[in-house]
A = this chain, B = another copy of it.
Amino acid sequence: MARPRTPLLSRERIVAAALRLIDEEGLDALSTRRLASELSVSGPSLYNHFATKDELLDAVVDSVIGEVDLSMFGTAGAAGAGGGSWPEALRDWARSYRAALAAHPNIVPVLAQGPGRRPNALRLADAVFGHLVESGWPRGQATRIGALMRYFVTGSALASFAAGFPADAEVYDAADYPHLGEAHRLAGHRGTVDEGAFETGLEALLDGLALRYARLAERP
């Protein structure tokens, strides 16, 4: 065929197909040849749009991060110098962040490596840090809070806790696991267990941070 009059591929089409493949069959299923065949082109065609597979993966990752809502950070100034609204903003953002990642768990290991040079990831880091500083957090603490929130959210989106326990009851028969007698039932409640753990952890973190925020005011 050689060059068609209207291109068969675009970065957007490639990224969308790659994400679908990763979601449905895992990160290992994404090969350039497999992806190309999914798009009805030959393997090397992809190299007209991305220099390497890593560059393609970067684009997939940034498209996922682009789904995270950052609008709650837009009006930090409106809360006044008190900045009392940061816990609500952090809560809303964490939920949106987790939802975006948990929709594509197979790509979380890649994304968790950090923002790199990906624009949406940098915008996210900028928004969180900026909001915390404008809310009165010292810059060093704002950095740590951005980091620890990412730890918690990526950890919770990386894999289901409940689904990590085999549903096969015999696994837990060994005398070594005296307290795991009911663990084979976890996988069946996968959604509620993981959701409950995330919400409990999020509220505990925010409570703990609020205690520290109050201490900032006491000793200025």
Q: CB-CB contacts of A44-79 with B at 8 A, as 1s and 0s?
A: 000000000000000000000000000000000000
A32 part of interface (Cβ distance < 8 Å)? no
Residues of A202-217 whose CB lies within 8 A of B: 203-209, 211-212
The residue from B155, B171, B206, B211 contacting A156, defined by CB atoms under 8 A apart:
B155
A112 touches B176 (CB 8 A): no
A114 touches B165 (CB 8 A): yes
A148 touches B183 (CB 8 A): no
User: When chains A and B are docked, how far (Å) is the Cα of A164 from the Cα of B118?
Assistant: 11
Contacts of A125 in B (CB 8 A): 165, 177, 180, 183
A176 touches B114 (CB 8 A): no
Q: CB-CB contacts of A193-205 with B at 8 A, as 1s and 0s?
A: 1101110110111
Contacts of A147 in B (CB 8 A): 161-162, 193-194, 197, 201
Contacts of A153 in B (CB 8 A): 155
Which interface residue of A141, A165, A182, A206 has the most chain B CB atoms within 10 A? A165
Q: How many copies does the complex hold?
A: 2
Residues of A139-198 whose CB lies within 8 A of B: 139-141, 143-148, 150-156, 158-166, 171-172, 174, 176-180, 182-183, 186, 193-194, 196-198
A144 touches B193 (CB 8 A): yes
User: When chains A and B are docked, how far (Å) is the Cα of A8 from the Cα of B141?
Assistant: 53
- Contact residues of A with B, CB < 8 Å? 109, 112-117, 119, 122-123, 125-126, 129-130, 133, 139-141, 143-148, 150-156, 158-166, 171-172, 174, 176-180, 182-183, 186, 193-194, 196-198, 200-201, 203-209, 211-212
A-B pairs, 10 with minimum CB distance: A114-B164, A204-B208, A155-B155, A148-B201, A147-B197, A151-B155, A109-B109, A130-B179, A147-B161, A207-B208
